[in-house]
Chain A
Amino acid sequence: MTRIALIVVALLALGGCADIGAKPWQRGVLAREDMQVDPDPVQTGLDDHIYFSKEASSGGRGFGGGGCGCN
């Protein structure tokens, strides 16, 4: 468990605020639909449901959520 906590803190620190990033007027690419974190939420929902009912893991990308008997 502590290993997880350490990874999380390290990653958050990395995401600090040096000069990495894009200027507000350079966000043309980042605004593209296919550059969004989840460009196709319906497809993601369907995939999460399949893998939730066929594997023992869930979550990570968004809320784990099951909402199904999935036998």
Chain B
Amino acid sequence: MKDKRRHGNAALRAATLGLLGAAVVPAPASALETPGEQLAKKWEFDTGLLVYSESGGRVQAAEPVLKATRNFGDDRMLSFKLVLDTLTGASPNGATPASTPQTFTGPSGSGSYRANAGEMPLDDSFKDTRVSLSADYLFPVGENGKFGYGLTASKEFDFLSAGANARYSHDFNQGNTTLSAGLSYEADEISAVGGAPVPLALMPAAVSGEVENENEDEDEGGGPGAETKGVVDVIVGLTQVLDPNSLVQFNYSLSTSSGYHTDPYKVLSVVGADGEPLRYVYESRPDARTKHAVFARYKRYLFARDVFDLSYRYMTDDWKVQSSTIDSLYRWNFNSTNYVEPHLRWYQQSAADFYHAALYDGEETRVTEASADPRLGAFSGYTVGLKYGHTMQSGNSWSARLEYYQQTGKREGVPEEAAAGLSKFKLEPDLSAVMFTVGYRFKW
């Protein structure tokens, strides 16, 4: 039997007022307020933990995040964010597989790591803990403007970074059109273990097959002191409300960085005609990079319940990397306190012009920049994920998201002279990772 009383007591109220013939009666105020409710909760905490795990014994990471925001009302907000990041496992060092076992000296020269015959060489000697802190303050400017500025700093055992940013947004057209502009500067200092290697210099004592003794003088080829890099980002954006249920956003971002971009721990194999490694040299990257990115997003509220979010980014830079990214989310709010959100992301990038899977014997003396870092190679990737969120009676909420990320490499940057020899090896390191995030938000 359908319960007629389901939708509040409007029927009862109307009947009662009819009986009493009362004139317009103001809406009832809550007379039985519990004192606890009045106490405005000042701080809002947004916490999260990411567990990232690549297959094949590669990188594992755990990343807890704590963000605290204090809302002073009138669009005035102060927030702090702390991110910890513990990394373990191995990542490709750039060398190509070989038909015989290979040995590489670790960055500090103390340890060394090996790769079996036919195996993609992985540098498993790095363990890293990163701490990063940021603070941000946002306040209103005039009737329709908002200005925000922030500081960030992060520290790893071989990397130090500090930055500042500022951004301004202005509402036009009764808040339907919002133009925003932002500027950020970041200074990085890279102090590689054992000093930064001389670009394209020979990796010491790494003759394949022989085991090196420990007390080899390890700073051979290491450059003096730490390397630095400066990054300047500019972003301009437009958000336009199309109708009460949808909006579009367009961003253009320009990022210029100058200084040391090389990865001190990455090498390239110098191979002979048979594709077997003769020696290894440290990689070398240009000391400047300019990236342009155009981003567009469409967001729509559907069936008076769900939210669909589709975005596209096109990026190009002067390292000749071009990438396209499509990201789509569908949040199904199946009731007022729970939602499920499937996520699909597709990514594709071309290789940097100085990307080489390997160098042919002697080629290392003819190139100025070369890197075999798979992240600069050509590959496509997709991410598929599902997120569940729940809001509790108290207003606090938690969420859990499980995602799978798969990268498939394309065979590029192979020297013709050794193409036949190298064809017996798989040079494009595929990557697959599982990412699990949990989040919890509460007021205090």
Contact = CB atoms under 8 A, between A and B. Distances in A.
A and B associate in one complex: yes
Contact of A17 (B173, B247, B299, B375): B173
Contact of B251 (A27, A53, A54, A61): A61
B175 A8 contact: no
B182 to A, nearest CB: 6
Contacts of A49: 63, 83, 85
Q: Is the interface of B mostly helix, strand, loop or mixed?
A: strand
Contacts of A11: 238, 250, 296
A22 B265 contact: no
A61 B312 CA distance: 10
B258 interface: no
Chain A at the B interface: SS class: loop
B186 A66 contact: yes
Given A55-B349, A60-B293, A67 B174 contact: no
A37 B233 CA distance: 20
Among A7, A34, A54, A67, chain B packs the most CB atoms within 10 A around the CB of A67
Interface string B371-415: 000011000010000000000000000010100010100000000
Contact of B299 (A7, A35, A53): A35
A24 B175 contact: yes
Give the interface residue-count category, chain B: 35 or more
B77 to A, nearest CB: 12
Nearest to A18: B173
Contact of B407 (A26, A35, A43, A54): A54
B240 to A, nearest CB: 4
B173 A21 contact: yes
Contacts of A71: 91, 126, 128, 263, 265-266
B182 A63 contact: yes
B435 A50 contact: yes
Given A42-B67, A66-B186, A12 B238 contact: yes
A68 B84 CA distance: 12
Contacts, number: 206
A34 B375 CA distance: 33
B244 A63 contact: no
A32 B433 CA distance: 32
Interface in B343-379: 347, 349, 352, 375-376
A8 B132 contact: no
A67 B252 CA distance: 21
B244 A68 contact: no
A62 B134 CA distance: 15
Given A15-B177, A22-B243, A37 B252 contact: no
Contacts of B186: 65-67
Interface in B86-142: 91, 126, 128, 130, 132
B315 A60 contact: yes
A69 B156 contact: yes
Interface string B237-263: 011111111011111110100000001
Given A55-B323, A57-B325, A65 B244 contact: no
Interface in A13-51: 14-15, 17, 20-24, 26-30, 32, 34-35, 37, 40-43, 45-46, 49-51
Interface in B425-444: 431, 433, 435, 437, 439
A59 B233 CA distance: 9
A21 B165 contact: no
Contacts of B271: none
Contacts of A60: 251, 253, 293-295, 313, 315, 325
A56 B293 CA distance: 12
A23 to B, nearest CB: 7
A34 B325 contact: no
Contacts of A14: 240
B152 interface: yes
Given A37-B299, A46-B63, A55-B349, A21 B176 contact: yes
A29 B238 contact: no
Interface stretch (B29-37, B42-50, B197-205): B42-50
Contacts of B168: none
Nearest to B63: A46
A62 B182 CA distance: 9
B233 A63 contact: yes
A59 B291 contact: yes
Top 4 A-B pairs ranked by shortest CB distance?
Answer: A21-B176, A60-B295, A69-B159, A15-B240
28 contacts: A4-B294, A8-B294, A11-B238, A15-B238, A15-B250, A17-B172, A30-B247, A32-B307, A34-B333, A37-B239, A43-B399, A45-B65, A50-B52, A50-B405, A54-B381, A56-B317, A56-B352, A59-B295, A60-B293, A61-B313, A64-B253, A67-B152, A68-B154, A69-B128, A69-B130, A69-B156, A71-B263, A71-B266
